[in-house]
Structure 1
């Protein structure tokens, strides 16, 4: 796994880095607490091994800042220290440390402590549960195949392209990218509340049936928002609720359910809207043949500024080859 080391003393830092690499881990190194904090914000490593005594931000302060900012994605924190007093251990654990390693440390002890942390992190089944819920909703429609897999990778690819673009107004960080990959499969979770004769109808929906179908956005939002109210720190639930409600909004304000327009539509929903439509275009359905990538791209670019956010369309165009690769990898 990827582990962040925060250690100001050169010899100790080099020794730990060497030992951890010998155990097969990917290592990021910080020379003090402030640098470690900046690295963690960008990389959000699942495990941090930090010295206690460091100039500026010390180990306990680093632990506190990580605990305040980690949200629902737990980080396992190990403190390295020569302190042995009970009061010191209480202080460290109160700051958020999960475990301690005494100086001088040895390879065998490091390996045991890390395995212990990996077991605890392994208990986090959130990703599996979320995708299983999404698949449960999708299972009612036998034609969608690998739609969820493709949409999550399309969405992540566009988010990464936006993060790299010159337009910095979106302020997309690694957490946003992780969350949209995790939550985009829940965009149609509300379809569990749509009756079969409407959801599975092969032909064109009547106006009344279409109004009923549109309610899946509200059903999904209310379900996920109820969970968010119980766990308000869970940013992934906030994003999933936004996506479920707003992925059928249009940039020109002519979408549903709220008629939002422009940047009033959550960015996550603007991204998933494009990913969802692209996959519908390139996939075969009862009512249509699969369109080519070029034809699908032409439709999307033609709807830039009306259906889709032009900035999101530009990001799509910058990574269209990846879209083709994703479709081929997860082809039905």
Structure 2
């Protein structure tokens, strides 16, 4: 910014002081004057804001200290540098003014070379501060933009991987979107529960929802003859089908090993993929974990996954009505599912039905 564009506001109740200071500064700067504190506040708070204020201390009505306090209280004027100009030349007065936050303190009578030097220095410092602030604002905006782009890339990559499993098992339809919605909503609701409030931070819930689509990624390793079988599995086929949980977590772990640093959502994705078929009573797979030994992320996913499977059409069954599904979930309390998670789910059952309806699969095609 060129010097001629700098605006200085001079505040003094004595006309002769305004004249002297104006004549000294006008050849170099744009000058505005105010004979009272009230007028000074009005000028300072009106665009274009002054770049520097020369403020007399001893004025009738509102003195310089009071004007300064009001300037600092207004966000529009809080950053304008102020130099106190006063006939009070004691060290105590100077220290008081500087302690208030003034950038400088000049005693009358004014020495023109000293005043011009102090004004120039403070304007240069303000320019530097403004530049740094603008740079920081720009950098913060760029960082936020890059983070948003990275998160979008991450989301797209996760969805792409999840759809690999969906392509192999086409009947899942919008299962990914629905279960992600259930998991996110359950995580938000469970944050208020004393058992979970420590774990379910805002960030954890966000990462949990981001990880959820990878829960069945291991199905890409299951042979089509088993994965697409319309009827019940044989005992041998069922044992093969159950391996998808470990295959999924192993795949995610290998991806994790390729990263230079820990990626938190991959840790949750691995937990979910490996343990979302565990049961509260220990009768699940692959490890037969029970109770709190099952990671919380997987316990939440387990309920979301079963709820969606029950309400969805499969080649071997029609979708169940919500009231029947509710009864099945209730019966699974303390057996299949964490009882406190079930209680929260049932208390807000309509919310989860709403998510299911929002991402409802299209009607099945009728074949002749």
Give yes or no for the alignment of 1:271 onto 2:300: yes
Match of 1:67 in 2: none
> Residues 157 and 102 of structure 1: is their aligned pair in 2 closer, same or farther, counting only changes over 3 Å?
farther
Whole-angstrom distance in 2 between the partners of 1:155 and 1:103: 46
Match of 2:180 in 1: 152
> Residues 12 and 146 of structure 1: is their aligned pair in 2 closer, same or farther, counting only changes over 3 Å?
farther
Give yes or no for the alignment of 1:131 onto 2:169: no
Q: Return the TM-score normalized by structure 2.
A: 0.61
Q: CA deviation at 1:297?
A: 1.1
Whole-angstrom distance in 1 between the partners of 2:274 and 2:74: 48
Give yes or no for the alignment of 1:211 onto 2:233: no
Whole-angstrom distance in 2 between the partners of 1:113 and 1:264: 44
Q: CA deviation at 1:229?
A: 3.0
Match of 2:28 in 1: none
Whole-angstrom distance in 2 between the partners of 1:325 and 1:103: 52
Whole-angstrom distance in 1 between the partners of 2:351 and 2:74: 39
Instruction: Tell me which of 291, 297, 318 is aligned to 2:326.
Output: 297
> Residues 103 and 144 of structure 1: is their aligned pair in 2 closer, same or farther, counting only changes over 3 Å?
same
Instruction: Tell me which of 202, 215, 221 is aligned to 1:193.
Output: 221
> Residues 325 and 14 of structure 1: is their aligned pair in 2 closer, same or farther, counting only changes over 3 Å?
farther
Q: Is the CA contact (8 Å cut-off) linking 1:281 and 1:296 kept in structure 2?
A: yes
Match of 1:96 in 2: none
Match of 2:210 in 1: 182
Deviations 1:36-93 (A, max 9, x none): xxxxxxxxxxxxxxxxxxxxxxxxxxxxxxxxxxxxxxxxxxxxxx9x9xxxxxxxxx
Match of 1:250 in 2: 279
Match of 1:284 in 2: 313
Q: CA deviation at 1:123?
A: 3.8
Whole-angstrom distance in 2 between the partners of 1:13 and 1:246: 56
Bigger CA radius of gyration: 2
Question: Which consecutive residues of structure 2, in runs of 5 or more, have no partner in the other structure?
Answer: 1-70, 78-121, 362-368
- SS at structure 1 position matched to 2:170: coil
Whole-angstrom distance in 1 between the partners of 2:138 and 2:320: 54
Q: Is the CA contact (8 Å cut-off) linking 1:152 and 1:182 kept in structure 2?
A: yes
> Residues 157 and 297 of structure 1: is their aligned pair in 2 closer, same or farther, counting only changes over 3 Å?
same
Whole-angstrom distance in 2 between the partners of 1:15 and 1:118: 25
Whole-angstrom distance in 1 between the partners of 2:74 and 2:303: 46
Larger relative contact order (CA 8 Å, sep ≥ 6): 1
Match of 2:146 in 1: 120
- SS at structure 1 position matched to 2:205: helix
Q: Return 101-110 or 318-327, whichever deviates more.
A: 101-110
Give aligned pairs, total.
242
Whole-angstrom distance in 2 between the partners of 1:187 and 1:249: 13
Whole-angstrom distance in 2 between the partners of 1:327 and 1:213: 26
Whole-angstrom distance in 2 between the partners of 1:307 and 1:203: 23
Q: Is the CA contact (8 Å cut-off) linking 1:161 and 1:318 kept in structure 2?
A: no
Deviations 1:303-325 (A, max 9, x none): 11110110110121132121011
Whole-angstrom distance in 2 between the partners of 1:252 and 1:120: 45
Whole-angstrom distance in 1 between the partners of 2:198 and 2:148: 32
Q: CA deviation at 1:104?
A: 2.3
Question: Which consecutive residues of structure 1, in runs of 5 or more, have no partner in the other structure?
Answer: 1-9, 17-81, 85-100
Q: Is the CA contact (8 Å cut-off) linking 2:245 and 2:273 kept in structure 1?
A: yes
Q: CA deviation at 1:161?
A: 1.0
Q: Is the CA contact (8 Å cut-off) linking 1:157 and 1:319 kept in structure 2?
A: no
Match of 1:103 in 2: 129
Match of 2:267 in 1: 238
Q: CA deviation at 1:326?
A: 0.3
Q: CA deviation at 1:208?
A: 0.4
Q: Return the TM-score normalized by structure 1.
A: 0.67
